Amino acid sequence: MTEWAPDRGMTASPFPPIAEYAFLSDCETCALVAPNGNVEWLCLPRFDSPSVFGAILDRDAGGFRIGPDDIEVPAARRYLPGTNVLETTFHTDGGMARVVDVMTVGGSGITPFRELARRVEGLAGHVSLTWRIEPRTRSTSTSARGAECASRSARRGQSR
């Protein structure tokens, strides 16, 4: 995946190129994760359901971001080998943190329940992170439920 930042794109679009989005799936639905760690597309409980996060189409259509406020391009992003588990690493002046994302599949195979699991790991030093979740439905222009937790910290050896 190549680097992308809103101020360095080939056009003035606030959207990254579609090839820069990571794809997570549990075989029943999928999530698209932007380079900055924002989940910008997720339909629940199936592919043909209304979107919960739709920022890939409209910046006001909801998303779920975990990451440093001042970092839009991670230092590294990859799928863990042989998996559909996404690992995004952020470097800041204070340290390093990693966000691990996966759409889980139940122990007995595909179940009617859907889960997007996101884990934060402190790798080095102290990193202040913002956690913002803003689900939207197709029929509303305001947040169905929104939460923000600014200044959450990840320290070396810590997982949340």
**Chunked mean pLDDT (size 10), the chain, 160 residues:** 47 78 90 92 87 86 87 87 94 93 76 82 92 75 45 55
According to the model, what pLDDT value does residue 146 have? Answer: 44
According to the model, what pLDDT value does residue 1 have? Answer: 38
Q: How far is it, in rounded angstroms, from Cα 95 to Cα 107?
A: 36
Q: What are the two backbone dihedrals, phi and then psi, of residue 39, each rounded to the nearest 5 degrees?
A: -75, 110
According to the model, what pLDDT value does residue 16 have? Answer: 84
pTM for this predicted structure: 0.76
According to the model, what pLDDT value does residue 54 have? Answer: 86
| Nearest alpha carbon to residue 94 among 131, 140, 128 | 128
According to the model, what pLDDT value does residue 99 have? Answer: 94
Distant-in-sequence, close-in-space partners of 82: CB < 8 Å, separation ≥ 6: none
| Nearest alpha carbon to residue 57 among 18, 22, 23, 114 | 18
DSSP state, residue 150: E
